[in-house]
Chain A
Amino acid sequence: MAAPNYQWDDQRLEVIISVLLRTGVLISAAVVFLGGICFLSKHGNEQPEYHVFHATADTYRSVWGVIHAVGPSDCQAIIQVGLLLLILTPIARVAFSLVGFALERDRIYVELTSVVLVILIYSLAAPH
């Protein structure tokens, strides 16, 4: 049996993934920027109090909370949406790799990648 050409398929997979990653970063940076402009226009004259830790408001601490809060009146929620998109970018990368390995019919790597994906989804979705 001839050895399959993993190198070539992996290389093509990586190029597609890198485009995905850059697009994710650009979109999230744009959303964070818009949220930032909104935040400064509304809260620009307030004093930031980051020297004392009192944890971010509950609404900004979960995926669902942020999705429910987001709107033109809640600038911090817009920023959080951008940051969530950023966090989702590497997760999408792993999901895409999973599809790639499945197309290459590489069972071991489909399994390994699934484990990584489950860990990532657990971190984001499970309450801590």
Chain B
Amino acid sequence: MTNLEFTPLVFGISAVAGCLGALTGLGGGVVVTPALTLLLGVDIRYAIGASLVSVIATSSGAAAAYVREGYSNIRIGMFLEIATTLGALLGAFLATRTPTAILSLIFGLVLLHAAWQSSRGRSHDEKSKKPDRLAERYRLNGSYPSAEGPREYQVDHVKTGFSLMFGAGTLSGLLGIGSGALKVIAMDQAMHVPFKVSTTTSNFMIGVTAAASAGIYLSRGYIEPGLAMPVMLGVLAGSLVGARQLIDTKVRVLRWIFAAVVGVMAIEMIVTGVKGNL
């Protein structure tokens, strides 16, 4: 296959991944890497490098739409970005020292989790009544617009959230994904940040987290221009289309389809990883 054939093919696959990622809120990065490695036989390190770059593009491109709604909390975002960027450095450092078979295996497990996450709705926890001291010290509590005017919220379990964010950053750096799902879990379920505030703040954080490991990927030669070009443009185009097509009624069916696709990819990645080890 020549570049003239390969580039449009990669662009197409990336556009589908970006569109699905935006529609389901899971992000395109988590689908692009297995698609490139499983369908086109691209080395997982090149795929991870290209995917990471596309993650920055979708996160930054979508920020404008989110911000206008007034849901994100830049204080929570900036506070937690210390954890995610440090985690991302660790993840990128580990990525260059981890055998590709192990990377493939971990990727498969993360995909399985994404499939499971995508197929179920979210559950609500009981809120704790005691105000968190760290939340007050760093003024993480905020408010968001609702039909009845601004609604105040309190943030809990800041330490737990911070630790989870370090983990999310590490996975992001290790696998070249945005790890938005884990970021939302850390805020929504651990810290009891309202769901909409969690998702929009997470989107804001994804780009910064990815930028932290991008430098290491670049110097290690993971970012191959000929491949990253169609991936970045494809995922970006797909996610812009996907973000516009957001229709609530179809999302449930779509989530199931997405969960099934991701589940199959997960198993393939795990099989690839295990085979590589033998």
Determine the chain B residues whose CB is within 8 A of the CB of A28 once the complex forms. Answer: 57
- Would you call A68 an interface residue if the criterion is a C-beta within 8 Å of the partner chain's C-beta atoms? no
Are B211 and A120 closer than 8 Å at their CB atoms?
yes
Tell whether, in the assembled complex, residue B7 and residue A55 are in contact, meaning their CB atoms are under 8 Å apart: no
Report the minimal beta-carbon distance from B204 to chain A, rounded to whole angstroms: 8
A8 to chain B, nearest CB (A): 11
Report A-chain residues with C-beta under 8 Å of the C-beta of B143. 7
Contact B226 A43 (CB under 8 A): yes
Complex-state Cα separation, A126 to B79, whole angstroms: 24
B75 at interface by CB-CB < 8 Å? yes
Q: SS class of chain A's interface: helix, strand, loop or mixed?
A: helix
B92 to chain A, nearest CB (A): 8
Q: A75 CB to closest chain B CB, in angstroms?
A: 8
Residue of A18, A83, A119 near B67 (CB, 8 A) is A18
Cβ–Cβ contact B219 & A61, under 8 A = yes
The winner among B66, B137, B142, B208 for most chain A CB atoms within 10 A is B208
Assess whether A123 is in contact with B229, with CB atoms less than 8 Å apart: no
A115 to B79: give the CA distance in the assembly, Å. 10
Partner of B64, one of A18, A32, A57: A18
Residue of chain A at shortest CB distance from B61: A25
Of the candidates A18, A75, A109, A123, which one forms a contact with B214 in the assembled complex, judged by CB atoms under 8 Å apart? Answer: A123
Contact of B4 among A6, A44, A90, A125 (CB under 8 A): A44
* CB <8 Å contact, B220 and A61: yes
Residue of A nearest to B66 (CB): A18
- Please tell me if B223 contacts chain A, counting CB pairs below 8 Å: yes
B278 in contact (CB, < 8 A): no
Q: Are A116 and B229 in contact (CB under 8 A)?
A: no
Number of residues from A at the complex interface, CB < 8 A: 69
Q: Say whether chain B's binding surface is mostly helix, strand, loop, or mixed.
A: helix
| Contact in complex: A86, B68 (CB < 8 Å) | no
CB distance from B203 to the nearest CB of A (A): 10
Q: Is A72 an interface residue (CB 8 A)?
A: no
A127–B8 alpha-carbon span in the complex (Å): 34
With contacts A29-B236, A39-B225 taken as known, whether A112 is within 8 angstroms of B63 at the C-beta atoms is no
Complex interface: chain A residues within 8 A of B70 (CB) = 11
**Proximity bits, A101-128, B CB within 8 Å = 1, else 0:** 0000000110011011001101111111
- Residue pair B3, A45 in contact (C-beta under 8 Å): yes
Name the distance in Å between B242's Cβ and chain A's nearest Cβ. Answer: 15
Q: Which residue of B lies closest to A52 (CB)?
A: B43
Q: How far is the CA of A39 from the CA of B226 in the complex (A)?
A: 7
Question: Smallest distance from the beta carbon of B276 to chain A beta carbons, Å?
Answer: 13
The reply on B131 being an interface residue by CB < 8 A is no
Closest to A81 in B: B225
Cβ–Cβ < 8 Å partners of A6 in chain B: 75, 139
When distances are taken between beta carbons in the complex, the residues of chain B under 8 Å from A60 are 221, 223, 225
B228 within 8 A of A: yes
Q: How many Å lie between the Cα of A31 and that of B41 in the bound state?
A: 27
Q: Are A86 and B221 in contact (CB under 8 A)?
A: no
Chain B contacts with A in 200-238, Cβ cutoff 8 A:
207-208, 210-216, 218-230, 232-233, 236
Q: Counting CB contacts under 8 A, is B89 at the interface? A: yes
Which residues on A sit within 8 Å (CB–CB) of B229? 32, 35-36, 39, 79
Does A19 lie at the interface of the complex (its beta carbon under 8 Å from any beta carbon of B)? yes
- A7 to B71: give the CA distance in the assembly, Å: 11
Known: A55-B221, A123-B89, A123-B213. 20 other contacts (CB 8 A): A7-B150, A10-B75, A15-B67, A25-B57, A25-B61, A29-B236, A47-B2, A48-B6, A79-B229, A83-B228, A87-B211, A87-B218, A89-B211, A90-B207, A93-B207, A94-B208, A112-B78, A120-B85, A120-B212, A124-B214
